[in-house]
Structure 1
Amino acid sequence: MVSLMRFSHSILVICLITCTVSCTGSRIIKFPNKVDTKDKPIVLQHKQVEFVTDVGVYVSNDFPGARLNNISVKNDSTLILRIQPENEPINNSAYFAFKTWTSNERDIYFQFSYPKGYKHRYIPKYETANRGWVQVDSTVFFIKDTIATLKFRVLKDTTLIAAQEVRTSQDVKDWYTGLTKKNAPTTRLKSIGKTHLGRDIPMMDIYKGSATNKDIIVLLTRQHPPEVTGYFAFQSFLETILQSGKLTDAFLEKYRVIAFPLMNPDGVDLGHWRHNAGGVDLNRDWGRYRQPEVSAVTNRIENIVKEQEVKVLLGVDFHSTWHDVFYTNVEREHTNLPNFVSDWFTQLEANIPNYKVNEKSAISTKPVSKGWFLKRFNAVGITYEIGDETPRDFITLKGKISAHEMMKLLTNSN
């Protein structure tokens, strides 16, 4: 048995101060189905590089975004990878990420093992220094009797193998910092608070001219760490808003966009399946704001609305799931944009080749962001979900067109 991760008796438990009325001033919103979002213990991975003598390869989880709890040797060509979540209960988002290399190139079978009740979700992808991310094909990856196995040629060069493309907090910071500098003075970058582990919670504040009398569109992503396809759509969406041209100029002269490009940096760098460092699903905390990330974001939105005496019109939260889908609220008639959803979806179908919108509309019974936008500000709330394996070029196209059509609708442009 080769142990990469040894569960420590010491667990990360960080307490937040909570109060009946939110300490930040955000108004508590009551949802029919309550969710306990007080801090819960998590188990940290033991980070190390291990040489597995029996098969002659190195395996490492010593990097941000890694997820591998231990390994064992099945035979001279097969390793069993034990993947466990940060805590339970948790949804089935069995994320993994590790690095491997060897002195003598050889084929290795990696078998993925999860706790009872969980199963493999993602098709593995890999990255080496000389090439970008590649998704493995069915000739080397297969699932039989619920056991997922990857046959992989381990090279002398280090290969990163993961459930999804790894985008750490530093990777995201490099992107939004570069985008902000490129688009100054339209775009302003701020840290609006700190996470449990002291990481910045970034906000991009985007408008032309004065902020006075500009109603708000809110964009956010990465509440759930592995959901990078939603993040890719967010990138394309925001980059489109910032492209120079008559439409974007008109849009940003009329509206203010506040964007949160990384809601859960702790969970991202810890390699979590879903939760933050407080052991909580952030997208269940949009009612009492017990977690610092949601508290900081809602407080900043509240302050802007109060200071500028403006409305929140639209809130779009970018996520990932098994297939592309838009989750919407049933209530529309009395919102600030009563016709937006139907008009927007019509334009998406008209402008994306061979595309049909997959919409699931419901009443938000749990404290999620789309329900919060509706209940708190009478705004349109949308959860913009991208499939785990949706082609990356289509994600970019969809993000670009959906942003473009949103701007056209809100500026009444043809």
Structure 2
Amino acid sequence: MSVIEAARGRVFGLAFDRWSVVALAGLGLCGALVAALLMRLVTETGGVNSYALLADAFLHGRFDSPTCFDSDCARLPDGRIFVIFPPVPALVAAPIVALMGPGAHGFIAITTVLALITGWSWWTIAGRLGLGREAQIWATAAFMFGAPAIFVTLRGDNVWFFAQAVGLALVSVAFVAALDRRLLLAGVLIGLAFLSRQMALFLAPFLFVLSRPKGAPLIAFDRRTILDAVKLGAPILAAIGVYCLYNWVRFGAPLDTGYAYIAAYPAADDRNFITWRVLDKGLFNKDYFLSNVAYMFLQGFHIEFAGKYMTEIHGMDGLGTSILAASPFVFYAIYAKVDAKLLVGAIVIAIVGGITLFYHSNGFSQQNVQRYALDWLPVLYVILLTGAFTGDPEKVAERLKIFKLLTIYAVGLNVAAFAVAAVSKGVV
């Protein structure tokens, strides 16, 4: 082969290498979501996120608020109004509220920073688990842009999504701390995550298993194991105590979270199916199970059309797309290694996921995601990465090819969903 022929072959290969095209497509789609985030950041307006009201209440030494920016607030019989959600996200928002008051904007700037922390965490987790550089890149991109993480970041100006963005960042860093055997730090972080998103409490057993030294038994009663359990558990128990005290001060009982009062807040004309569910069936009910299962595991990408000819885009299905349809790379959990992490992780996922399947809300409103999956997805993702992308390099390389395509598909669906939402409602 001549030098010219060799050069032509290299140019031809570069120009038409399919995996280079795949990488560029992935980069472009992720870039589109980053652009959407920047647009949301610079156009955000205040007076929307009820955590600003809670932060303002804390700054003025009280717990109740004069009003609420959404429907999920508690109105007590004496007329007082409470933002019922856990307190840590309000503390995160306190600096901007101290500067701008309860009408503050800047929540999406905060969730952007939190997303950077979450992304760094999963990059680090993938590295700690032994993934190669290419797998590490794609694993991080899939979690951040092909799963609900990007959604709660983009929608951080609303109270529900802001809480999840805060909780996810804390949980993600806690996973890093557990892998580094920094048990006390992991416990503090999970405690703070619990005070942001209550379901984070159930992740503690998996963190303990994740922190175990290689070859160490899962259950032991030696001094080192007991000390590890105390380091992880003590801050979490302290956080539970804080939450019980917080509830008692607000509602007069340590286990009263205020959720039972939320149906009393919206005016009759503003009630939706969520309000009617709480009024007629309660916060938890077996009647919610079928709908929640369908949306968590079965429902596909769904654009709603309207108009006389059903040709006008009305928007995305507000109950979302199933995690299996929106993020099909989760099927890579089939490669999970059968070990203690899988056993404990499966139990944790079953508990957290099982509870939410009987809950009155499945995460509404949301586009192309099941955001409640973020409560257990970090556990599944660690199991997935460990099984699929460690071990035999040839097998890893082969598995990574399809994972790339599934990731691009997932990110592409998010881009499409946000585009539909922007066109139909004027917002992402």
TM-score (norm 2): 0.28
* Larger strand share, 1 or 2: 1
* Larger helix share, 1 or 2: 2
